[in-house]
Chain A
Amino acid sequence: MTKQRIRHALVSALALSVMGAPGAFAQTDAQKALAGREIRFLQPSMPQFAALGKFIPEFQEKYGIKVTVDEIPFDQYRQKSLVEMQQGTGTYDIYAVDVMWLAEYAAAGFLQPLMPYVKNPNLTDEGYDIDDFLPRVISGTGVYNDTLYTIPLGAGPVGTTFRKDVAEAAGIQMPKRFSPEFTTDFMYKAAEKVHKPESGMIGFAQMPGRWFWGVTYLPYLYAFQTPKTKGDEYVDKNWRITINNKQTIDSIDYFVKFKKFMPADSANWGIGEATAVYQSGNAFGLWNYQDFIKGFFEDPNAQKAVAGKNVHLHTPAGPHGVIDPWFGAWSFGLSKDSTKKEAAWVFIQWMTSKKIQERATEFGAGPSRHSTYKSVTLAKFQPWWVDVYEFMLKETNPDERIRVPEWAEISDIMGEEGSRVWIGEINSATAVENMQKRMSAVMRRGGYYVPGRTDLPPQHWRDLSYYDRLPSTWK
Chain B
Amino acid sequence: MTQPVRAFGARTILSHGGGDVAVSRHEIERMTHIKTIADAPLSPAEPAEGRRRGIWSRLGPSNPAVFPWVLMAPTLIVLFAIGVYPFLYALYIAGHNVILSKPYVPRFFVGLYQYQAVIQDPEFWSALKTTIWFTVQAVFIEFWLGLGLALLFQRRLLGAGIMRVFILIPMILPPLVAALIWRYMFYPGAGLVTYYGGGVTRALGWGEIPFLSDPTIAFHTLVFVDVWEWTPFMFLMMSAGLASIPRQPYEAAEIDGASAWRVFWTITMPLLRPAMLIAVVIRTMDAFRTYELIVVMTRGGPGNATTTLNVYLTKTGLEFFDASKAAAISLVMMMVIIVMSFVFIRALRSRTETAE
- Give A residues with C-beta under 8 Å from B: 78-79, 82-83, 86, 104, 107-109, 209-211, 263-269, 273, 276-277, 405, 408-409, 412, 416, 419-420, 422-423, 425, 447
Question: Closest Cβ of chain B: how far from A100's Cβ, in Å?
Answer: 13
- Give B residues with C-beta under 8 Å from A: 100-105, 186-190, 194, 207-215, 218, 298-305, 315, 318-321
Question: Closest Cβ of chain B: how far from A188's Cβ, in Å?
Answer: 21
Query: Once the chains bind, are B303 and A423 in contact (CB under 8 Å)?
Result: yes
**Residues of chain B lying within 8 A (CB to CB) of residue A269:** 188
Among candidates B102, B211, B300, residue contacting A265 with C-beta atoms closer than 8 Å? B211
Query: Once the chains bind, are A422 and B211 in contact (CB under 8 Å)?
Result: no
Given A264-B207, A266-B188, A408-B320: A419 and B103 within 8 A (CB)? no
Query: Once the chains bind, are B321 and A86 in contact (CB under 8 Å)?
Result: yes
The 10 closest A-B pairs by CB, nearest first: A267-B213, A420-B303, A267-B302, A264-B208, A210-B301, A265-B210, A265-B188, A264-B210, A423-B302, A86-B100
Question: Closest Cβ of chain A: how far from B161's Cβ, in Å?
Answer: 39
**Residues of chain A lying within 8 A (CB to CB) of residue B194:** 265
Query: Once the chains bind, are A423 and B305 in contact (CB under 8 Å)?
Result: yes
A405-B213 Cα distance, complex, nearest whole Å: 31
Given A83-B318, A264-B208: A209 and B301 within 8 A (CB)? yes
Among candidates B102, B208, B298, B303, residue contacting A405 with C-beta atoms closer than 8 Å? B102
Q: Which residue of B lies closest to A447 (CB)?
A: B105
Query: Once the chains bind, are A268 and B303 in contact (CB under 8 Å)?
Result: no
In this complex, the member of A109, A264, A265, A405 whose beta carbon has the largest number of chain B beta carbons within 10 angstroms is A265
Q: Which residue of B lies closest to A406 (CB)?
A: B320
Q: Which residue of A lies closest to B295 (CB)?
A: A76
A104-B186 Cα distance, complex, nearest whole Å: 36
Query: Once the chains bind, are A265 and B318 in contact (CB under 8 Å)?
Result: no
Query: Once the chains bind, are B189 and A263 in contact (CB under 8 Å)?
Result: yes
Given A209-B299, A268-B298, A408-B320: A107 and B102 within 8 A (CB)? yes
Q: Which residue of A lies closest to B303 (CB)?
A: A420
List 30 A-B residue pairs with CB atoms under 8 Å apart, sorted by A's residue number: A79-B318, A82-B321, A86-B100, A86-B101, A86-B321, A107-B104, A108-B104, A109-B103, A209-B299, A210-B303, A211-B299, A263-B208, A264-B210, A264-B214, A265-B194, A265-B209, A265-B212, A265-B213, A266-B213, A267-B210, A267-B301, A273-B187, A409-B320, A419-B301, A419-B302, A420-B303, A422-B303, A423-B302, A425-B215, A425-B303
Query: Once the chains bind, are A412 and B213 in contact (CB under 8 Å)?
Result: no
Question: Closest Cβ of chain B: how far from A457's Cβ, in Å?
Answer: 13
A104-B319 Cα distance, complex, nearest whole Å: 12
Query: Once the chains bind, are B101 and A82 in contact (CB under 8 Å)?
Result: yes
Q: Tally the A-B contacts, defined by beta carbons under 8 Å.
A: 97
**Residues of chain B lying within 8 A (CB to CB) of residue A264:** 207-210, 213-214
A405-B303 Cα distance, complex, nearest whole Å: 24
Question: Closest Cβ of chain B: how far from A90's Cβ, in Å?
Answer: 16
Given A265-B212, A425-B215: A210 and B302 within 8 A (CB)? yes
Other A-B pairs, 4, CB within 8 Å; known A108-B104, A209-B299, A266-B210: A263-B208, A268-B212, A405-B101, A419-B301
In this complex, the member of B190, B303, B304, B321 whose beta carbon has the largest number of chain A beta carbons within 10 angstroms is B303
**Residues of chain A lying within 8 A (CB to CB) of residue B300:** 210
Question: Closest Cβ of chain B: how far from A351's Cβ, in Å?
Answer: 26
**Residues of chain B lying within 8 A (CB to CB) of residue A419:** 301-303
A472-B26 Cα distance, complex, nearest whole Å: 97
**Residues of chain B lying within 8 A (CB to CB) of residue A86:** 100-101, 103, 321
In this complex, the member of B190, B210, B218, B298 whose beta carbon has the largest number of chain A beta carbons within 10 angstroms is B210
Query: Once the chains bind, are A267 and B212 in contact (CB under 8 Å)?
Result: yes
Query: Once the chains bind, are A422 and B302 in contact (CB under 8 Å)?
Result: yes
A83-B317 Cα distance, complex, nearest whole Å: 10
Q: Which residue of A lies closest to B188 (CB)?
A: A265
A109-B210 Cα distance, complex, nearest whole Å: 45
A263-B186 Cα distance, complex, nearest whole Å: 13
A436-B190 Cα distance, complex, nearest whole Å: 38
Q: Which residue of B lies closest to A270 (CB)?
A: B299
**Residues of chain B lying within 8 A (CB to CB) of residue A423:** 213-215, 302-303, 305
Query: Once the chains bind, are B104 and A109 in contact (CB under 8 Å)?
Result: yes
**Residues of chain A lying within 8 A (CB to CB) of residue B299:** 209-211, 268
A221-B207 Cα distance, complex, nearest whole Å: 32
Question: Closest Cβ of chain B: how far from A210's Cβ, in Å?
Answer: 4
Q: Which residue of A lies closest to B117 (CB)?
A: A445
**Residues of chain A lying within 8 A (CB to CB) of residue B215:** 423, 425
Question: Closest Cβ of chain A: how far from B34's Cβ, in Å?
Answer: 66
Given A268-B299, A408-B319, A416-B303: A82 and B100 within 8 A (CB)? yes
**Residues of chain B lying within 8 A (CB to CB) of residue A82:** 100-101, 321
**Residues of chain A lying within 8 A (CB to CB) of residue B319:** 78-79, 408, 412
A198-B105 Cα distance, complex, nearest whole Å: 57
Query: Once the chains bind, are B315 and A412 in contact (CB under 8 Å)?
Result: yes
**Residues of chain B lying within 8 A (CB to CB) of residue A263:** 188-189, 208
Q: Which residue of A lies closest to B318 (CB)?
A: A79
Q: Which residue of A lies closest to B208 (CB)?
A: A264
A197-B331 Cα distance, complex, nearest whole Å: 50
Question: Closest Cβ of chain A: how far from B124's Cβ, in Å?
Answer: 13
Query: Once the chains bind, are B213 and A268 in contact (CB under 8 Å)?
Result: yes
Question: Closest Cβ of chain B: how far from A113's Cβ, in Å?
Answer: 16
A104-B212 Cα distance, complex, nearest whole Å: 33
In this complex, the member of A82, A264, A416 whose beta carbon has the largest number of chain B beta carbons within 10 angstroms is A264
A103-B189 Cα distance, complex, nearest whole Å: 39
A276-B191 Cα distance, complex, nearest whole Å: 13
Question: Closest Cβ of chain B: how far from A145's Cβ, in Å?
Answer: 12
Question: Closest Cβ of chain B: how far from A110's Cβ, in Å?
Answer: 9
In this complex, the member of B101, B187, B218, B319 whose beta carbon has the largest number of chain A beta carbons within 10 angstroms is B101
**Residues of chain A lying within 8 A (CB to CB) of residue B188:** 263, 265-266, 268-269, 273
Given A210-B302, A408-B319, A422-B302: A108 and B208 within 8 A (CB)? no
A164-B268 Cα distance, complex, nearest whole Å: 70
In this complex, the member of A104, A263, A273, A425 whose beta carbon has the largest number of chain B beta carbons within 10 angstroms is A263
**Residues of chain A lying within 8 A (CB to CB) of residue B210:** 264-267
A108-B211 Cα distance, complex, nearest whole Å: 41
Query: Once the chains bind, are A108 and B213 in contact (CB under 8 Å)?
Result: no
Query: Once the chains bind, are A104 and B101 in contact (CB under 8 Å)?
Result: yes
Given A79-B318, A83-B318, A209-B299: A267 and B102 within 8 A (CB)? no
Q: Which residue of A lies closest to B212 (CB)?
A: A268
A36-B186 Cα distance, complex, nearest whole Å: 48
Question: Closest Cβ of chain B: how far from A335's Cβ, in Å?
Answer: 15
Q: Which residue of A lies closest to B190 (CB)?
A: A276
Query: Once the chains bind, are B212 and A420 in contact (CB under 8 Å)?
Result: no
Q: Which residue of A lies closest to B323 (CB)?
A: A86
Question: Closest Cβ of chain B: how far from A27's Cβ, in Å?
Answer: 37
Question: Closest Cβ of chain A: how far from B219's Cβ, in Å?
Answer: 12
Among candidates A78, A107, A265, A420, residue contacting B304 with C-beta atoms closer than 8 Å? A420
Q: Which residue of B lies closest to A78 (CB)?
A: B319
Question: Closest Cβ of chain A: how far from B279's Cβ, in Å?
Answer: 33
A419-B103 Cα distance, complex, nearest whole Å: 32
**Residues of chain B lying within 8 A (CB to CB) of residue A109:** 103-104
**Residues of chain A lying within 8 A (CB to CB) of residue B187:** 273
A267-B305 Cα distance, complex, nearest whole Å: 12
A263-B195 Cα distance, complex, nearest whole Å: 12
**Residues of chain B lying within 8 A (CB to CB) of residue A422:** 302-303
Question: Closest Cβ of chain B: how far from A263's Cβ, in Å?
Answer: 6
**Residues of chain B lying within 8 A (CB to CB) of residue A267:** 210, 212-214, 301-302
